[in-house]
Structure 1
Amino acid sequence: MSQSENRGTEAVALVTGASSGFGMLTAVKLAEQGFRVIAAMREPSRKEELERRAERSGIMERMHVMRMDVTDAAAIEETVQAVLTAYGKIDVLVNNAGYAAGGFVEEVPMEEWRRQLETNFFGLVAVTKAVLLQMREQRKGLIINIGSVSGLAALPGFAPYAASKFAVEGFSESLRHEMSSFGVKVVLLEPGAYRTAIWNKGLSQIASAEDSPYRARLDAVLKYSRKAAETAPDPQEVADLIGRIVRMRSPRLRYVLGRGSRVLIGGRNLLPWSWFERIVARALK
């Protein structure tokens, strides 16, 4: 990465998981808004769609693809230091990298639990820690963590994913308190189902034996999830919201978005648990 002539003046954004979905759309959106965007992805060979969109929008000169596996501490440090060397700062961090693992608790191998948390939670923490010193010293910055409605209301069959997103909730809330006096803002997005590859990937990895005692319930969960994915809204909504948030002077901590998300969260928070539990069970029959 060559050193920019506008070092220190041009706003710089680092977006993780930028090869597809929310990450790719957010990288393009921020570049369209004038940011120098570092589009980080585990496999840069998957950059074709991102670059095609960037070319079409006339923003290729502001888009830089870099390899970064959020489960690799050395890779994180290398990427962040390369960005700081080239541009002197990171103004916005969008922690988007992640995937959805599923299955009923008894049948999910422990190594899958660890892999889910390593990517969705510990990876997010590691990238955040890598940029905090610089943001704190410049006394400004914005960290946007992509959580999920699953971090507020957990459904059966996706306990590993929900656990990772509940962890992101607590982390983001604590971090916001810690950084408020240093001018660093922390925002948490909690999208529901959108038309992205995360659910197809997650659903395709769920395995269960034919004689599993959970087989009927798992089939119902998969049927519900596929239907939700098919009718989900355009993920551009999430990128557009991020585009608005980066312009806000005082963004709030949480933004719930997506069809039915507020109803789900409202039901969980306001109804007696036994009522909510019955509603979920009925929906998944």
Structure 2
Amino acid sequence: MERWAGRVALVTGASSGVGAETAKVLAENGMCVIGCGRNVTSIQELADKLKSSSSKGVLHPVKCDLRSEKQILDMFEEIKSKHGGVDVCVNSAGLSHVAPLLSGETEKWREIIDVNVMALCICTREAFKQMRERNVDDGHIIHINSTSGHRVAMGDYDLNLYVGTKHMVTGLTEGLRQELRGLKSHIRVTAISPGNVNTMFANRMYGDEIAEKMKSEYKLLESSDIADMVKYVLQSPPHVQIHDLIVRPIEQET
């Protein structure tokens, strides 16, 4: 990670789960991390802990609602004015609702698409712009995808729109790789596709009782496991394109 020391990473969804753990790991390894989320208080608490632990890097909290393009653009302007620009963009934010395709509410569908797809695309575009403006040719864009971007689980109808958005992330990752290659850019793109992770994702969808029962079925991945994958990807040699990492709990069926 030495070559990333002092460089700027944006991590979306940094208020909890995989985003928070990724922001922590990158800061501990010397990066200047911009952690964004709607709950900026929890990001500030993490930043304070890192500061008191003498972390090699630093975490800067930024409040940003990724459903708003204006707030995303304002955030990138703030990053540019204060830190020069983004070198690494980790699109970690993601959500779902109970919203089947035949009976889901339009507003819930819209929020899933806005966060999982539109925000990812806007952040990717703006990060790339900042890299090109500064002649950064070794930047890295990382999408936190899902095993749901590679299969459709039978019978789990509540997640069907979420699955659709994650399949789109799979396609967007390859499309982005091709566009970067067409520009003869050495900026890399990687998707990391976790299986079931021990976060609040299911709690927010189904409530604590159902979620905790689901989590007790077998040992889930931890957020730190996925943050380790982000670190692994960034440590790979500049000529190596890690396209998609699928990471499952060993007992997960699909």
The TM-score bracket by the shorter chain reads 0.7 to 0.9
Residue 182 (str. 1) matches residue 185 (str. 2): yes
Residue 41 of structure 1 corresponds to which residue in structure 2?
37
Q: Summarize deviations over 1:28-79 as a string: whole Å, max 9, x none.
A: 1001111001111122123355235424532396111011111111111111
Residue 246 of structure 2 corresponds to which residue in structure 1?
256
After superposition, residues 60-209 of structure 1 pair within 5 angstroms as 62-137=58-133, 138=135, 139-155=137-153, 156-157=156-157, 158-180=159-181, 181-204=184-207
Query: For the structure 1 residues 115 and 225, does the alpha-carbon distance in structure 2 shift closer, same or farther, using more than 3 Å as the test?
Result: farther
- What stretches of structure 2 of length at least 5 have no aligned partner? none
SS of aligned partner of 2:102: helix
Query: For the structure 1 residues 75 and 224, does the alpha-carbon distance in structure 2 shift closer, same or farther, using more than 3 Å as the test?
Result: closer
Tell me how large the CA RMSD over aligned residues is: 2.4
Q: Distance in 2 between matches of 1:146 and 1:16?
A: 10
Q: Distance in 1 between matches of 2:220 and 2:204?
A: 16
Q: Distance in 2 between matches of 1:29 and 1:183?
A: 24
TM-score w.r.t. length of structure 2: 0.86
Q: Distance in 2 between matches of 1:229 and 1:52?
A: 35
1:200 to partner: Cα distance? 1.3
**Alignment length, in residue pairs?**
240
Could you tell me which amino acid in structure 2 is paired with residue 144 of structure 1? I
SS of aligned partner of 2:96: coil
Return 39-48 or 175-184, whichever deviates more.
39-48
Query: Between Structure 1 and Structure 2, whose CA radius of gyration is higher?
Result: 1
Q: Distance in 1 between matches of 2:196 and 2:69?
A: 30
Whichever structure has more helix as a proportion of its residues is: 1
Could you tell me which amino acid in structure 1 is paired with residue 230 of structure 2? I
Residue 268 of structure 1 corresponds to which residue in structure 2?
none
2:233 to 241, 245, 253: 245
SS of aligned partner of 1:107: coil
Q: Distance in 1 between matches of 2:248 and 2:215?
A: 15
Q: Do the aligned residues in 1 keep the contact of 2:100 with 2:161 (CA within 8 Å)?
A: no
Q: Distance in 2 between matches of 1:201 and 1:101?
A: 8
- What stretches of structure 1 of length at least 5 have no aligned partner? 1-8, 206-221, 265-285
Q: Distance in 2 between matches of 1:186 and 1:130?
A: 14
Q: Do the aligned residues in 1 keep the contact of 2:144 with 2:191 (CA within 8 Å)?
A: yes
Residue 226 (str. 1) matches residue 226 (str. 2): no
TM-score w.r.t. length of structure 1: 0.77
1:97 to partner: Cα distance? 1.0
